[in-house]
Amino acid sequence: MALSFMRRHRRWLFVFLWLVIAAFIILYIPAFQGSDAGSPGEVLADVGGMRITVGEFQKAYLRQRQTYERIYPGKLDANALRSLGLEQQTLEGLVAQRLIALEAKRLGLRVDDEALARHLTTAPEFQRDGRFVGSAELRRLLEMQNVTVAEFEEALRQQLLAQQLEALVTDGVSVTPAEAEQEFRRRNEQVRLEYVLVDAGRFKAGQNVSDDEVKQRFESAKETYRLPERRLLSYVLVDNASLAPRVSITDREIEAYYQNRREEFKQPEEVCGSHILVKVKQGPEAKDGHDDAEAKKIAQGLLDQVKAGRDFAELAKKSSEDLGSAPQGGSLGCFGRGSMVREFENAAFALGPNETSDLVKSSIGYHIIRVLERKEETAQPLAAVRERIRQTLLGERVRALVDEKMRLVADSVRRGRSLEEAAKAEGLTARKSSPLERGKPVPPLSSPALVARAFELKKGEVAKEPFALGPSGYAFIALDEIQPSRVPALGDVQDRVRADLVEEGALARARDLAAQVRARAEKDGLDKAAVALGLLRKETPSLVGRGQPLAELGYTAPLEEAAYSLPEKTLSEPVRAAGGYAVVRVLEKKPFDPTGFEKEKPAIVTSLKNEKKQQLFQAFLEQARQRYPVERNLSAMQRAATG
């Protein structure tokens, strides 16, 4: 294996520092202690003949969960984890791994021991002071994490294989100078406008469109109103809304929950107080703060004033360098342990009510702390948290029932029962959808994957797997009818045709009034022109960047082009804006900076290239899904996720 190869080649006897190893292990090979939920060897999914086992899923799921728990310590219960869609994220990640392995094999890619060892010894992130630590140290660190050398090597081999495949697929990606300039402009150019908006909505009520005009428009532009292919489905919802009425929570259950989790309902100790901060520079180039000695001297002078009886709040307003609290007299409100830097927290919790600290040094600077009130730890009574517990238990029970019914319906349709029969057996109802168009999810069938699958089914076919509808539940579908694309009869679309004509007429009126605004504004200015025509002149509140809404004008391509191409203080022609037409004048502009562009161009090109590569590789993997069937064992999935 790779370590044996390294022993044979003494210049490769070292590997990387332990922090990199630890990070790698956390990302790729999490520790796992097992579960009672199903056999680790049970097949959870099959991707083109490559299996994903329950044990592998559980390891990956634990890794994902630990990552979120580090980001949100103490804030993730079972319901929160479900709302993140963690099970689906985990499974999709494992499916992607299999797709990469299958595509790499198809294209003849491999990572041998020599390539693995070469990577370990040449990658910059694996070096420390230009040298490597050594294979013995690697083994020791792996043993500390309960990870074998073989596991480590295999994880690294998969990573390198994925990199090879991505490099092969995205090798031809490039970024043109025009694309780089466009991105620089998007990031940097800004304008501040004054404007008058003429809303077309005010003219709609006055648009009278005759039946002859509707007919004439339709006859002259039938293809405009062509109906796309549509599909009608039968569907069954297995979700919170349909199953919640079947669940009830008793007072005894609420009381038992409270008694078993009393720690959850404790209100931790808090102090309420204020501070005065004198910042210390965080580095030689930092603009804020003072040198340590100077900061300490200033803080000591402020402390002397406090001790001499100076009003703490007034002194904080005048002298504290914490811009967030200074306007409130230094007030920090009430806070518990863990919410402030350690040195500050230790000093604050050592003070009694109405006591003031000496100077407290933290990583930020020097603090003078005054505690106004202390709140001791208290336990919330059951009465105060009863409804919260009820909702928690209700959510858990409903979700469990949703998962159970989902599994039973899935098993039924997989055995060949119709969707109506499967639903009826579980006390659910099969409904008929409105016509669906490709790429347009419509509530309650709000899953893009569901709509995409609907256009793959044959008439009468039942999809064997459920589609997740976010955290609320699932939907099962069967295809009832295919409506081919067609030019409709006028009666089918006459309301749409009439609405188009009304919209066009109203926009024409808005454009004409905007032209009058511009003509008057050339002589009298926008403000007077607006008043004379019963309109309002407004301004964007600040500089606005490309691609962002320009206040109530919203965003349209013609509007952006006009705003950024106009010289300052110049009026635009009437330009299409959200809801109507506008006349704008540029008050202030941050224009294109050629020197800045040349300086940032290499970084922008790299960023855009990486973005393009990622998009191309994701599209490649989506195509791979069409080549390799993905079959999921929903029952095993449910057992694995709840274990």
Mean pLDDT of 396-413: 92
- Whether residue 33 is predicted with pLDDT greater than 70 in this model: the reply is no
* Assigned architecture for domain 2-171+627-642: Orthogonal Bundle (1.10)
For domain 190-225+491-591, give the CATH number: 3.10.50
pLDDT digits (tens, 9 = 90+) for 480-502: 999 999 999 999 999 999 999 99
Nearest to 534 by CA among 551, 513, 508: 513
Helix (H) or strand (E) holding 483: strand 473-483
Question: Is there a shared CATH topology between the 2-171+627-642 domain and the 269-376 domain?
Answer: no
User: Could you say which DSSP state residue 72 is in?
Assistant: S
In 3D, which of 187, 108, 192 has the Cα closest to residue 547?
A: 187
- d(Cα 339, Cα 328) in Å, to the nearest integer? 19
Chain mean pLDDT for the chain: 87
Residue length of the chain = 643
C-alpha closest to that of 94 among 56, 129, 143:
56
For the range 179-183, what are the long-range contacts, defined as Cβ-Cβ under 8 Å and sequence gap of 24 or more?
A: 179/608, 180/597, 180/601, 180/604, 180/605, 180/608, 181/597, 183/604, 183/607, 183/608
Q: Which two tokens stand for residue 614?
A: 């990622």
- The CA distance from 499 to 414, in Å, is 46
The end-to-end CA distance of the chain, in Å, is 35
Is the pLDDT assigned to residue 510 strictly greater than 70?
yes
For residue 24, pLDDT over 90 is answered with no
Q: How far apart are CA 264 and CA 262, in angstroms?
A: 5
Q: Kindly state the tokens that stand for 622.
A: 């989506």
**Domain range annotation of the chain:** 2-171+627-642, 190-225+491-591, 230-250+385-483, 269-376
Least Cα distance to 530 among 245, 195, 276, 209 occurs for: 195
Q: Is the peptide bond before 444 cis (omega within 30 degrees of 0)?
A: yes
Distance, in Å, from the CA atom of 109 to the CA atom of 125, rounded to the nearest integer, reads: 24
DSSP letters for 480-527 = EEEE--BPPPHHHHHHHHHHHHHHHHHHHHHHHHHHHHHHHHHHH-HH
The pLDDT of residue 27:
42
Which parts of 308-418 fold into alpha helices (H)? 312-319, 342-350, 382-414
Mean pLDDT within 392-397 = 92
CA 519 to chain centroid, in Å, comes to 47
Q: Please state the pTM of the whole predicted model.
A: 0.61
Residues pairing with 545 in the sheet: 190
Give the pairing of strands 190-199 and 544-545. Answer: antiparallel
Q: What is the CATH number of domain 269-376?
A: 3.10.50.40
DSSP 520-546: HHHHH-HHHHHHHTT--EEE-SS-EET
In the predicted model, is pLDDT for residue 256 greater than 70?
Answer: yes
Interval 158-200: pLDDT, tens: 889 999 999 999 999 999 999 999 999 999 999 999 999 999 9
